[in-house]
Amino acid sequence: MTKNNQPLKIGISVGDINGIGLEVALKKLTDKRLLQWCTPIIYGSTKVVSYHKNIAKIRDLSLHSAADVASIQPNTVNVINCWMENVKITLGKCTEDGGKYATFSLEQATEDLKAGHLDALETAPIHKKAMQSSGFGFPGHTEYLTEKFQAPLNLMLLVNESLRVGLVTNHLPLQQVAAAITQSLVLDKIRLMDKTLRMDFGVDRPAIAVLGLNPHAGDGGVLGTEEIEHILPAIEQAKAEGILAIGPYAADGFFGSANYANFDGILAMYHDQGLVPFKALSFGKGINFTAGLPVIRTSPDHGTGFDIAGKNTANHQSFREALYLAMDSARQRADYRSMHKNALKPKKNKPAPAPKGESKRKKNQGNPKNRRENGEANPVKGDKPSKNRPAKKPSDSTAQPLAKAPTEPIPITEQGTAPQPPVAPSTDPIVVKEEHNDSPQ
């Protein structure tokens, strides 16, 4: 529930209509308990959704058709019609239509997300070649949403319970990875991971492991210098900023020894370095979370599943976990912002106000007349008392007699400090003679 005790509004983009995205979504949405916590809103077409509902042989699921987000209904699964024409569905095939209608769905859901009509967005899988053939100009959801929300940086974060693996580079060809690894980029990703673990996952002081780029993390520069030149300096700078970042670690030994269990987040340098071990440990249960956006976006960690599309064998567990994380992170971020919005700021220490009349006295200190009245004799060149008006002497009621300076040297005790003389302090310098013992100890 949100703070006003209303279910969260969770948008769902359909992804590629020829894949398994709608199948896994509808399988999860048959659980009516879900409606206690959220109002699901599918962006697509009632015709396409009904087609996949029949393929998956789902009977006990009602759908509410809506023209826009303003006409949705609570306690049911809503479908916003992003197009009205008939669509040719070719299950298991990469087609231009698959990319075209996935784009329509994503664009409408994104607009409602930007307008604040949704609390979070879960995206079903897309096929990148189909998207490109339809004119989609981004490598994937992550890059598209980053531009649409004008986010300065994003972090692709794979999540399965306490295992969280982020990437420095996302969908980048391997031959371009080394040139993309810079100290500034690695440092920015460490900062962003630290921020999202605090804000979206509720980790107070995250421990972050940073992997190296090269085999054995470069072996001291023998197998590559990126660790020495870029990754390690970024880690050291992050530590100086108070971030608990440790590394660089060799990826094979790090995961092979189960060291990953000791950290709240793991930062890999490129796609397969992070996703291969993550999916080996979490396949079917993993979630893709996009950090760095002003909104919450999740997706299942699998693809379009063309090889099993239409066979009603797709496992919906990853979609379910992504839906739960979308709700949990939306609440967590709202709580975090609420707590930090009115956080107490340290007050600057202001100097104590001067006693009444002090500023006036300081202002008049440079006045020769005032100095003479205070008993100061000739403090400034040319300021001589008049022959007919001698300088004013201090009155006996306020003047203190000055003690005569001692003529004998003051002895030094064994502790090296001089005992206080039984006289008032003198304005003349006191010469202290010390006896040095030059004999060896």
- The yes-or-no verdict on residue 367 having pLDDT over 90 is no
Residues 49, 70 within the same domain? yes
Pick the more confident residue, 321 or 424. Answer: 321
Residues 169, 280 within the same domain? yes
Go through the chain and tell me how many residues it has: 441
Here the tokens at position 249 are 């670690």
DSSP string covering 327-393: HHHHHHHHHHHHHHHTPPPPPPPPPPPPPTTHHHHHHTTT-HHHHHHTT--S-STT---BTTBPPPP
Provide the CATH number for the domain around residue 12.
3.40.718.10
Residue 432's pLDDT band (boundaries 50, 70, 90)?
A: very low
Q: DSSP alpha helices (H): ranges in 231-364? A: 232-240, 251-256, 271-282, 317-341, 358-363
Residues 298, 287 within the same domain? no
Residues 202, 251 within the same domain? yes
Residues 53, 124 within the same domain? yes
- The yes-or-no verdict on residue 402 having pLDDT over 60 is no
Domain for residue 435, yes or no? Answer: no
For residue 38, which phi and psi values (nearest 5 degrees)? -150, 160
Residues 283, 305 within the same domain? no
Cα(322)–Cα(282) distance, integer angstroms: 13
Residues 134, 249 within the same domain? no
Mean pLDDT, rounded, for 240-266: 97
Q: How many domains does the chain have?
A: 2
Residues 273, 330 within the same domain? no
Q: End of a domain among 292, 309, 327?
A: 292
- The yes-or-no verdict on residue 34 having pLDDT over 90 is yes
Mean pLDDT, rounded, for 231-252: 98
Residues 187, 160 within the same domain? yes
pLDDT tens readout for residues 376-393: 444 444 444 444 444 444
Mean pLDDT of the chain: 84
Residues 45, 144 within the same domain? yes
3-state DSSP call for residue 122?
strand
Instruction: Output the pLDDT for position 437.
Output: 44
Residues 181, 245 within the same domain? yes
Enclosing domain of residue 245: 152-292
Domain for residue 399, yes or no? Answer: no
- The yes-or-no verdict on residue 138 having pLDDT over 90 is yes
Instruction: Output the pLDDT for position 413.
Output: 40
Residue 441's pLDDT band (boundaries 50, 70, 90)?
A: very low
Residue 338's pLDDT band (boundaries 50, 70, 90)?
A: confident
Buried-exposed string 306-337: b where 16+ CB fall within 10 A, e elsewhere: bebbbeeebbbbbbbbbbbbbbbbbbbbeebe
- The yes-or-no verdict on residue 47 having pLDDT over 70 is yes
Instruction: Output the pLDDT for position 349.
Output: 56
